[in-house]
A and B are shown apart, each in its own frame.
Chain A
Amino acid sequence: MEQEQKVKFYQKGTYTVGNRLLNVKERSVQASMDRSNSLTCGHRACQGCGEALGARYAIDAAMRATRNQVIAVNATGCLEVFTTPYPETSWQMPWLHSLFGNAAAVATGVAAAMRIKGRTEVRTIAQGGDGGTTDIGFGCLSGMFERNDDVLYICYDNEGYMNTGVQRSSATPPTARTATTPIAGPEPGNVFGTGKNMPMLAMAHKIPYVATANVAALHDLEKKVTKAMHIKGARYIHIFVPCPLGWGSKPEETIHVARLAIKCGIFPLFEAENGKVTSTVPIREQIPVDDYLKIQKRFSHLFKKGHEERDKIAAIQAMADENIEYFNLLNSEGGS
């Protein structure tokens, strides 16, 4: 029998644990030879695509949790396009793409069909990018939440319309350069005081489960998906997925960028049940938002030599600080 091992070694500055330090049972689904590979190799995502990684981990974890009884409904977007270029498909699972703005409603229909057909073991996941979730798909998503339909909705948030060439969405952060918020005029990039906090909006529906996850914390991501698959009713997981193309970050630094988003507090990791926060992933060592912003070209206008936009950087720092305070991320001990 294997010895129970107490984890002491975290990756620097985080509570992320290396796979090999864990007991075999606790290791990631992705580390297992019998993972489902639901989103298999050969797809056309860009190098370093955070969404491809996030989807792969999320769906394989969901498949494990349900003994491979998952149907996925996909909104239009990068994930849909890069996985199903005719005449190929990367999906080794039942998968349906209908439209950009209706993934949540289509999933409601699939779940209803499974119920009426007596296939109660089959679970339904809807997935889309931030545009398909916070903007065009918001009405259908809110309806699915409100009815508490038995669907897990996963949003892969890369903070913009990357599939159409990097335009602003309501998930684009302030000052970020996109094709529709260019670096020009008195307020370059996306403006302050706009945007939606989708996880909080999901919580406001008092659905059974809401969580945020990040491709730099894959154990945590898998754990949350697994938990979600063991809950009935409407569930929402919002996964932070860097986009090297849209963000102007290095493809090999996707995980690094994602980790800095956690460490600076700009993307808090938490779970909420029935509208109340039930857990958070604490920050072990807070870093300034500068470190996160500087390695992305979409924010480079903030750091021009001799013309640093300190006010704007401070305003972004204030957003991160507010997250840290709201979720009490520095004072809570623990590890995930």
Chain B
Amino acid sequence: MLKQIEGSQAVAETIGLCRPEVICAYPITPQTHIVEGLGTLVRKGIITNCEYINVESEFAALSVAIGASAGGARSYTATASQGLLFMAEAVYNASGLGLPIVMTIGNRAIGAPINIWNDHSDSMSMRDSGWIQLYAETNQEAMDLHIQAFRIAEEVGCPVMVCMDGFILTHAYERVDVPRQEQVDAFLPPYEPMQVLDPSDPVSIGAMVGPEAFSEVRYLAHYKQMRALERIPEISAEFKERFGRDSGGLVHPYKTEDAETIVVALGSVNGTIKDVIDEMRLDGKKIGSLSICSFRPFPLERLREILSPAKQIIVIEKNIAVGMGGILSANIRMALRGLVQPVTTCIAGLGGRPITKKSLQEMFDKTMRQEVDDINFLDLDWEIIRRELDREKADRRSGPIAENILKDIGKRLEE
């Protein structure tokens, strides 16, 4: 059914259609509307046969989900930013135990300085935690990915994070097609656990493993993701058959066939990138883009196949690997190992800074003319940075950086 609703509400309704049995809720911006929506759906009896548990922290939220999943229940939670970091220990634990929990990340920056707006620092910090990570481009895809996520998680025995950009998607009202219950039921069978706590067949889960077998256990976690690499496109194809639209899969190439320059990115920024590409194509520029949906497992071979004919790759990063550059670019370079194409890193949109068409186009043009560094920052305010560096040079007790910068910006507005 077509509806004009908020992204978070759309996700909440979709989770409901997936027949979750235990939902653990702890509020953190910008994920709050999802768990609020689910709470209402459970209270109103629209989601039935479901335990909705208000917990005391994100660490508890995922811990409750771990217990519920090990008890054989389909389990779901959602978080963002500091919340994901606070549950980090349980994030690794859930995947280590092979529990197919699905968790939404409303992508948000990590402090300090505290910032509630969007970037990918949070989910990127957990990229090697053993969870599958899927990034949604639109609210429709965010919904569809959750349905696919339960299917992937439960088939493979591995938890899945569905990452959707905070505010940009979570708080945006868009027209979405909400599937019917029968459609979802036909696609997503009831959860049959691979391991379960049951007094009639007692097992020990989470036993200690020493050097004699730890590597084998870790290899099997990697093997699961390699299996997921095959299953993700198959499940996406089956989804298309039943629901009639392309959603999920490993990657979404856009006008890449003859492209000399390909722009790679994760998540909602791909919409803006595609608009820019359409305009640049009108000017005869051979540019295309590639949206990565499955960041973990990382589709090395598929990426190589699409990217290797291009002369130049630009990676738009909504994160910064401080002291190194961009996380996605490093992964892309791995996909292109042995090849000579330059891979340029563009750090953009940190802490919710808008990524505009104008800035992107300028940066793409400059990069195509080879006028930028390997690592560059979109729309960086060099004046503010220079002032702070001068202040630090002049005075040992120069004060807190964030406060200084805000004062500078305030002064500039007055001038």
- Chain A interface residues (CB < 8 Å from chain B): 68-71, 73-74, 80-81, 84-87, 89, 91-99, 101-102, 105-117, 122, 139-140, 142-143, 146-147
Contact with A along B51-93 (1 / 0, CB 8 A): 1011111011001111111111101000000000000011001
Q: Is the CB of B90 within 8 A of A102?
A: yes
Cα distance, A108 to B77, chains bound together (Å)? 14
Point out the residues of chain A lying under 8 angstroms from B212, CB to CB.
Answer: 86
- A95 with B67, Cβ < 8 A, contacts A108-B53, A112-B22, A142-B56 known: no
Cα distance, A104 to B226, chains bound together (Å)? 34
Q: Is the CB of A86 within 8 A of B67?
A: no
Interchain residue pairs with CB less than 8 A apart (20) = A68-B199, A86-B210, A86-B212, A86-B213, A91-B204, A93-B199, A95-B205, A97-B205, A106-B63, A106-B64, A108-B60, A109-B22, A109-B24, A113-B21, A115-B51, A139-B57, A140-B60, A143-B55, A143-B57, A147-B54
Point out the residues of chain B lying under 8 angstroms from A98, CB to CB.
Answer: 63, 66-67, 90, 93, 97, 206
B75 to chain A, nearest CB (A): 7
Q: Is the CB of A143 within 8 A of B199?
A: no
Whether B203 is near chain A, meaning CB under 8 Å from some CB there, is yes
- A109 with B89, Cβ < 8 A, contacts A91-B204, A93-B199, A116-B49 known: no
Whether B1 is near chain A, meaning CB under 8 Å from some CB there, is no
- A106 with B67, Cβ < 8 A, contacts A94-B197, A97-B207 known: yes
Q: Is the CB of B205 within 8 A of A116?
A: no
Q: Is the CB of B206 within 8 A of A105?
A: no
Q: Is the CB of B65 within 8 A of A109?
A: yes
Q: Is the CB of B208 within 8 A of A99?
A: no
Q: Is the CB of B21 within 8 A of A116?
A: yes
- Looking at A112, A143, A146, the one whose CB has the most chain B CB atoms below 10 A away is A112
Cα distance, A169 to B203, chains bound together (Å)? 31
Q: Is the CB of A99 within 8 A of B93?
A: yes
The 9 A-B residue pairs whose C-beta atoms are closest, nearest first, are: A109-B67, A113-B71, A143-B56, A97-B206, A105-B63, A102-B63, A109-B68, A106-B67, A84-B207
Q: Is the CB of A106 within 8 A of B66?
A: yes
A240 to chain B, nearest CB (A): 26
- A96 with B205, Cβ < 8 A, contacts A139-B59, A139-B60 known: yes
Whether B178 is near chain A, meaning CB under 8 Å from some CB there, is no
B103 to chain A, nearest CB (A): 14
Whether B324 is near chain A, meaning CB under 8 Å from some CB there, is no
Point out the residues of chain B lying under 8 angstroms from A74, CB to CB.
Answer: 206
A214 to chain B, nearest CB (A): 28
Cα distance, A142 to B57, chains bound together (Å)? 11
Point out the residues of chain A lying under 8 angstroms from B57, CB to CB.
Answer: 139-140, 143
Point out the residues of chain A lying under 8 angstroms from B203, CB to CB.
Answer: 94-95
- A112 with B202, Cβ < 8 A, contacts A86-B209, A139-B57 known: no
Point out the residues of chain B lying under 8 angstroms from A86, CB to CB.
Answer: 207-210, 212-213
Q: Is the CB of A102 within 8 A of B60?
A: yes
Interface range, B side: 35 or more
Point out the residues of chain A lying under 8 angstroms from B22, CB to CB.
Answer: 109, 112-113, 116
Point out the residues of chain A lying under 8 angstroms from B69, CB to CB.
Answer: 109, 113
Point out the residues of chain A lying under 8 angstroms from B64, CB to CB.
Answer: 105-106, 108-109, 112
Point out the residues of chain B lying under 8 angstroms from A140, CB to CB.
Answer: 56-57, 59-60, 63
Cα distance, A112 to B51, chains bound together (Å)? 6
Q: Is the CB of B208 within 8 A of A117?
A: no
Point out the residues of chain A lying under 8 angstroms from B49, CB to CB.
Answer: 116
Point out the residues of chain B lying under 8 angstroms from A102, CB to CB.
Answer: 59-60, 63, 66, 90
Cα distance, A92 to B64, chains bound together (Å)? 23
A141 to chain B, nearest CB (A): 10
Cα distance, A142 to B67, chains bound together (Å)? 17
Q: Is the CB of A109 within 8 A of B75?
A: yes
Q: Is the CB of B72 within 8 A of A113?
A: yes
Point out the residues of chain B lying under 8 angstroms from A71, CB to CB.
Answer: 71, 197, 199
Whether B50 is near chain A, meaning CB under 8 Å from some CB there, is yes
A96-B70, A109-B70, A110-B67 known; 15 new pairs, CB 8 Å cut-off, are: A70-B199, A84-B204, A86-B207, A94-B202, A95-B204, A96-B67, A98-B206, A101-B89, A105-B60, A105-B63, A105-B67, A109-B53, A113-B21, A117-B21, A140-B56
Cα distance, A60 to B144, chains bound together (Å)? 47
Cα distance, A146 to B202, chains bound together (Å)? 30
Cα distance, A97 to B90, chains bound together (Å)? 12
- Looking at A80, A89, A108, A109, the one whose CB has the most chain B CB atoms below 10 A away is A109
- A81 with B208, Cβ < 8 A, contacts A71-B199, A93-B199, A110-B70 known: yes
Point out the residues of chain B lying under 8 angstroms from A94, CB to CB.
Answer: 197-199, 201-203
A186 to chain B, nearest CB (A): 35
Q: Is the CB of A96 within 8 A of B197?
A: yes
B206 to chain A, nearest CB (A): 4
B49 to chain A, nearest CB (A): 6
Point out the residues of chain B lying under 8 angstroms from A106, CB to CB.
Answer: 63-64, 66-67, 70
Cα distance, A99 to B207, chains bound together (Å)? 11
